[in-house]
Each structure stands twice: as C-alpha cells, then as structure tokens.
Amino acid sequence: MSSDQKALEQEALESLDSMSVVPRLQGPIGRMIDWVDTCFLTLAVLALVAIAGTVLLQVSSRLFLPFSIAWTEELSRYLFIYMVALSVGVVMRQHRNISVELFHHMLGPRVKAAFQALICLMIGVFAFLVLPYAWQYAQNGTWQTSPTLRIPMLYIFVSTVVTFALLLAYSVLGCLEGIIAMCRPSATREQES
C-alpha cells in the first residue's frame, strides 16, 4: 500500500470520527500513555484469543469426547468480563464507544474540545462516585468461590473496580486533553506568528 493510500485511509477514518480533531498529549507523557494503551489493548486481545481457544475447546470436547468439559463456559465468561474491563479506557480515549453524533461535525475545534472535556468530566464524576461501591461489591467475593474453577470470586468481582478505575483515569486524561486544546491558540494565529 502506498503512502498516498495510507494518507487517504487515515483521512477517511478521521472524517468518520469528528472528535479526532482534539489533539492528544505529545512528548514523553504522550508516548508513555500510548505505551500504557498498547499494554491494555494487548491484554484485552490476549483475553479475546483465550476466549476463542476456550470456546473451541468446549465445542471440540462436545463433538469428539464422550464428556463435555464443564469449566470452559465459566472461564470464557470471566475472560470476556476482563476483556471489556481492560479495554474500556482505551476505547474511551480513542472515541470508539457508542455515541450519538448528530451535531459534532458542525462544531468548531474549540467547541469540540470543550465538548470532550465536558463528557469526560461527566464520565469521571460518575466513575468516581461508583468506584467505592465497586470495591464493596468486589469484597463480597472474598468468601465465595466460582462453581467449577474454584477460584475466589474476588478476582472476578474486582473487574468492576478495574473498569471504573480505568474510566476515572482515562476521563481525567480526556478532560485534560480537551482543556489543553481549548486553551491553545488557533491554527491561524500560530501560522501568522
């Protein structure tokens, strides 16, 4: 694929995502955040691959063995929960979550940045309020074990803590990026000076 085709493809993807105008953090902090994003996405992809392997093992055991393996369904469910929990922040940062975009394309860059900051602030406040209750919920699993795998349910229930902690961290990051984008001089002022 030529560089022109890649540029056109990137431009097409950015035109589909109207909020991609808000710039991300750059420099060493931006590279560190990108590295953390890659780690979370890698873990989520590994969970997805493990789900596929577990489901394949379950189907194979039902077809080719005289018995079915009972723990595969439970493990695939737990892997799915952690796949979602580990990827929720990155999905939010990349604006890939489900949203209604009726008027985003009509907004200017500063208003888009303000809109991103507002949405991230609302998500962050929600995650901050729910996080203590998620921890209480996770503690309920300390005396429970899963039915077939016999692992403490604390490890499964703590996925809610992971989800809301990542939502809180990534909403702070998104709010910060939106505020920085609002405070920056416009591109025309930068070109004139």
Residue 81 CB neighbours (<10 A): 17
The per-residue pLDDT for 188 is 39
- Digit-coded pLDDT (tens) for 102-117: 676 677 878 888 888 9
- Contacting residues for 30 by C-beta, under 8 A, at least 6 apart: 24
Token pair belonging to 64:
């080719």
d(CA 94, CA 177): 12
pLDDT score at 21 = 63
Structure tokens at 114: 């303000």
Q: Are 11 and 105 in contact (CB under 8 A)?
A: no
Range 37-63 average pLDDT: 93
**What's the confidence (pLDDT) of residue 95?**
77
For the chain, which residues make up each domain, given as ranges? 24-192
pLDDT class of 20 with cuts at 50, 70, 90: low
> Mind listing the pLDDT tens digit for each residue in 136-190?
999 988 888 888 899 999 999 999 999 999 999 999 999 998 898 888 776 434 4
What does each C-alpha distance from 78 to 67, 71, 123, 146 come to in angstroms?
22, 11, 25, 10
| pTM of the predicted structure, to 2 decimals | 0.79
The amino acid at 127:
A
For the CA atoms of 80, 118, 133, 36, the dihedral, rounded to the nearest 10 degrees, stands at 50
